[in-house]
Chain A
Amino acid sequence: MAEVLVFVDHVDGAVRKPTLELLTLARRIGDPVAVALGNGAADTAAALAEHGAVKVLTHEAAEYADYLVVPKVDALQAAYDAVSPAAVLVPSSAEGKEIAARLALRIGSGIITDAVDLEAGDGGPVATQSVFAASYTTKSTISKGTPVITVKPNSAAVEPAAAAGAVEALNVSFSEQATGTKVTSRTARESTGRPDLTEAAIVVSGGRGVNGAENFSVIEALADSLGAAVGASRAAVDAGWYPHSNQVGQTGKSVSPQLYIASGISGAIQHRAGMQTSKTIVAINKDAEAPIFDLVDYGVVGDLFDVVPALTEEVKTRKG
């Protein structure tokens, strides 16, 4: 079977879930060959093998952390040259899309970004995109070169499938551009202990209706009772009530959880762009006319400061 390159998103060797989803999708079109770069690259091998990687190409160098994007493009291109794959799949993070785009240009290929599904077609992989704030679904193919496709988190259920996962060192020589943009300092984000927003099965979000940073504890309590991640609308973020890294929407994170609960959020088009593909949508809003109610599977018209704490109590009781 044809080989498919899969770019690995990992933190010091811990593989992030979107990569495991990619491996699942990659198996529909070929044999996944994973490319893991930077600190801890070789430590990714066991998890990748469990999810179908026939081979894991690794390379560690300080350049990956010290310079922006281009060293990773150089490495992915080296892997491409070594493998001659039938397709290249990259997780749809901001950085992932930039890496994929530059690779596509270098190898003379088209690129499809933010696919939400992938299947084998007669003329190569067919990618599904969810566009215009999820109001349209398109299917696209690549008409020139080797398909380069980035895939959004939560686009496939992770299915383990044991494979060899043989680790091989990748030979990389960096281009002149590799050291063009220096990372002069890096501040790691503090972990909240909650699930990652884009990976979480349940997301509980608050908006302007939460009315203050201190009140977000109401949203957090519900999230913790459900084991959920916390999201926020841009209005809440702009007001300084919650960090931007938790913003859901067009210019924040795009999430696609099993369950999305919006409290005090009106449902502006830019917010919907980031959550409309959630499987089940619930909203709590005191305005019965709020556009968010057009999307919901279940809505409660009411004051979030009554409804959310009551729900949290009920969840805790039921979970015992």
Chain B
Amino acid sequence: MSLRIVVTVKYVPDATGDRGFADDLTLDRDDVDGLLSELDEYAVEQALQISENSDDDVEITVLTVGPEDAKDALRKALSMGADKAIHVEDDDLHGTDAIGTSLVLAKAIEKAGYDLVVSGMASTDGTAGIVPALVAERLGVPQVTLLSEVAVADGKVTGRRDGDTASEQLEASLPAVVSVTDQSGEARYPSFKGIMAAKKKPVEAWDLSDLDIEAEEVGLEGAWTKVASADERPARTAGTIVKDEGEGGKQLAEFLAGQKFI
């Protein structure tokens, strides 16, 4: 038996940098460094753990849809221990929305072949948290999303989803789409050996024609949503800051009373 896992990873602007928008109201990628979305490291980690806990042959492929530099995200995942990578890159992808991204991912996942898809809970830029559900809908397989615990055995995936009002145990047959939260367990750091090995691992490059997708179906033109304006939030007016010299609690109470909170 063998198990083919595809991990979807997004290349995003560093959240600690000055993120902003370009003139066409898409993400400004020139003025800020990019990296593997930190929440996708958890997805790679869980795929590696599923592999380590499995008696089957497991092959882990990491997949990204993004510009040239998105290779960095793939390298990071490969150096953590994934086996191979697929980079879907095409100029016509610029400005694709979530619906379009899910189309490209679903076609690429089908072409790659899969038993299990593992995704992050959300990207750290768009942060919608909907791509895994969209991919499951497109592939017509179960979604087992937002898991803080995940396991695969006997052709089934099981996991725990901690929701607002309850914690649920879930179960689905493979093939399936899973997403994992940052509660699923710390992601490992790439070892030196891992980093060296990653340099030799294969990275396939696919474009839209490889996936039978027309340019009009994706990109800014094909997007089903349109950003009309993006404005930097005005800096908050500087607040009052006091040093506690025994009266800090009282002074704060005074402020809260003035604002009618007490």
Contact = CB atoms under 8 A, between A and B. Distances in A.
B118 to A, nearest CB: 15
**Helix, strand, loop or mixed for chain B's interface?**
mixed
B253 interface: yes
Given A181-B170, A307-B248, A98 B257 contact: no
A182 B137 CA distance: 16
Interface stretch (B62-70, B189-197, B223-231): B223-231
A105 B102 contact: yes
Interface stretch (B47-55, B73-81, B236-244): B236-244
Given A135-B232, A183-B168, A300-B251, A250 B124 contact: yes
B252 A143 contact: no
Given A94-B163, A139-B228, A106 B137 contact: yes
Interface centre among B15, B165, B246 (most CB of A within 10 A): B165
Contact of B19 (A132, A188, A293): A132
A319 B256 CA distance: 12
A302 interface: yes
Interface stretch (B1-9, B83-91, B141-149): B141-149
Interface string A118-151: 0000000010001111111111111111000000
Nearest to B125: A132
Interface in A267-286: 269-270, 273, 280-282, 284
Given A110-B224, A138-B230, A251-B121, A105 B138 contact: yes
A223 to B, nearest CB: 13
Contacts, number: 259
A281 to B, nearest CB: 8
Nearest to B138: A105
A307 B169 contact: no
A97 interface: yes
A315 B253 contact: yes
A131 to B, nearest CB: 8
Given A300-B248, A313-B249, A318-B253, A245 B164 contact: yes
Contacts of B172: 180-182
**Helix, strand, loop or mixed for chain A's interface?**
mixed
- Give the interface size class of chain B: 35 or more
A101 interface: yes
A68 interface: yes
Contacts of B163: 94-95
Contacts of B111: none
Name the 5 nearest CB pairs between A and B, nearest first.
A310-B249, A302-B244, A110-B224, A180-B142, A314-B253
Interface of B: 15-16, 19-21, 25, 39, 97-99, 102, 121-122, 124-125, 127-130, 133-134, 136-138, 140-146, 148, 158, 161-173, 176, 181-183, 223-233, 236, 239-244, 246, 248-253, 255-257, 259, 261-262
24 contacts: A68-B144, A101-B134, A101-B137, A109-B224, A110-B97, A135-B19, A137-B231, A138-B230, A139-B229, A144-B224, A181-B144, A181-B176, A182-B170, A183-B169, A184-B169, A189-B167, A245-B162, A250-B127, A281-B236, A294-B236, A300-B241, A301-B242, A307-B244, A314-B250
Given A226-B261, A250-B127, 11 more contacts: A98-B145, A110-B225, A180-B173, A181-B142, A183-B169, A259-B256, A282-B252, A299-B241, A300-B243, A301-B248, A319-B262
